[in-house]
Amino acid sequence: MAFLEFKGISKGYPGVQALSDVSFDVKRGAVHGLMGENGAGKSTLIRVLSGDQAAHAGSIVIDGVEQHYSSVRDAFHAGVVVIHQELQLVPELTVAENLWLGRFPGKAGVIDGKTLVETVRAKLKEIGIDVDPAAKISSLSIGARQMVEIAKAVMVEARVIALDEPTSSLSSRESEILFSLIDRLRANGTVILYVSHRLDEIFRLCDSLTVLRDGKLAAHHPSIADTTRDQIIAQMVGREISNIWNWRERPLGEVRLEAKQLSGSKLRNPVSFSVRKGEILGFFGLIGAGRSEMARLLYGADHRHQGSVSIDGVAVAPNNPKAAISAGMVLCPEDRKFDGIIQGRSIEENIAISSRRHFSPFGILNPKKEAAVADRFIAKLRVRTPSRRQDIVNLSGGNQQKVILGRWLSEQGVKVLVIDEPTRGIDVGAKSEIYEILYELAADGMAIIVISSELPEVMGISDRIMVMCQGRVAANVARADFDERAILTAALPDKNAAGTI
């Protein structure tokens, strides 16, 4: 019998019909997969379920009772918890405070801090999550923050939990903890709505599956056993995609970027490497290996203790992102929400803000030129939007990533692109488009550094791979020598290795 039912859900925004008559149901104690390209309507459906958005038509039924939400709090009291891809934590509060937010233990308005921390510590230990309850959220890695969000849902004993790309920031060990939690919740009768682009996880975890495309129901599979990977991909994108990498060889030029003996407070083991014109250099490593720390040192976002960086033989001033940009280096950061997009601003503003100084002297804005720049890169990068004036938060993750790329490519004289987790939370079709953009930039002579925790991605698009482990370079592998097992082995921590990040 169905426990969770979506009946004819429709939702529109100005210029966009996000959902159109979507109906399906999920049984009690089932893990139900929800798939579709970015912009297919998955996140909108989740927002409607959470009470964050109101549907224009249709209804949600839980355990036979039609729900009428006016807020997220109403959905929460109905037993619904949603863990969004963009985490909903308060950075300057502790782990314990975030987990008890709105429900603090105490009397007469006085919070019992000791009880708060100890209760959370015991619960985290019970569910197998190794996070200090007294630590501030801002001090944690993205993976640890994701585990805190997951713990929040478990602690309130929700009847329906929606997980939106939950493993996108998790290590293999953390993912296994999550999968064990999901199995426990399923056994207790909880409904899990599992949104992911990772087909391996869908087939491992899910009992049933729904596929959305362009805001409509593309397919519903009551049993995951009755479908295949290729069928799901075709249902998602409306076409066959046999090779999303589509790598091709290109001529490589002279050394464009050279880094020597880079180290800092978060990367204590010196790292050296070079990238040639037209080369895509992949950096692979497990979470905590030091890849993102290396990128921030390279770009000057973190303080460099020692080492040098040069572009085309000219030294780049340390600890100064502005100097890096002037020298021709740009960075697309790992965390799109906090370090990439400018929330609450239009696509036009997000693209043009970097290049304004070239056509807005004395701080006087030039709306016509900003619009022209935005239109150019919206077209060039195939950003799916009804208007350049659309708020960037209304775009899918893939389209947000394209806007960030457009911002930096609007800069004059970009020679080096550093892109960290380029396709995190992005669907198969959009991934293919991002890769094509990178190939085109490389073919024009740009040196590209791609940082990714997804080994198939790094192997699929890179000309060469640097493997990092415990804050050091563990291997430098040419494409002809790519071997998944050997690369993963090099990335695994060595108990006898000295030094950590």
Tens-place pLDDT, residues 448-475:
999 998 888 999 999 999 999 888 899 9
In angstroms, the CA 57 to CA 224 distance is 29
Mean pLDDT for the chain overall? 87
pLDDT band at 497 (very low <50, low <70, confident <90, very high): very low
Higher pLDDT pick, 84 / 501:
84
Stretch 271-279: mean pLDDT, rounded? Answer: 97
State residue 240's pLDDT score. Answer: 58
The string of DSSP codes covering 187-221 is HTT-EEEEE-S-HHHHHHH-SEEEEEETTEEEEEE
Q: What is the pLDDT of residue 226?
A: 93
pLDDT tens digit sequence for 168-222 = 777 777 788 888 889 988 998 999 999 988 888 999 999 999 999 889 999 999 9
Of 51-60, 169-178, 219-228, minimum mean pLDDT range: 169-178
Residue 193 pLDDT: 96
| β partners of residue 57 | 10
pLDDT tier at 425 (50, 70, 90 boundaries)?
Answer: low
Strand arrangement of the beta sheet that strand 80-83 belongs to: 80-83, 160-164, 191-195, 31-35, 208-213, 216-221
For residue 71, is pLDDT > 60?
A: yes
Structural domains of the chain ordered from first start: 2-237 (3.40.50.300), 276-290+463-492 (no CATH), 328-446 (3.40.50.300)
Two structure tokens written together for 323: 């100097």
Round to whole Å and give the CA distance between 77 and 71: 10
Question: Which DSSP helix (H) or strand (E) runs through 447?
Answer: strand 447-452
For residue 94 the two structure tokens come to 């502790």
| The model scores a pTM over 0.85 | no
Task: Yes or no: say if 203 and 196 are a contact pair by the CB < 8 Å rule.
Answer: no
Give residue 283's pLDDT. Answer: 96
pLDDT at 501: 34
Q: Interhelix angle for 428-443 vs 229-237, to 10°?
A: 80
Compute the average pLDDT of residues 410-423. 89
The predicted-structure confidence for 288-316, as pLDDT tens digits, reads as follows: 788 999 999 999 999 999 999 999 999 99
**Angle at CA of residue 484, ends 480 and 489, nearest 5°:** 115
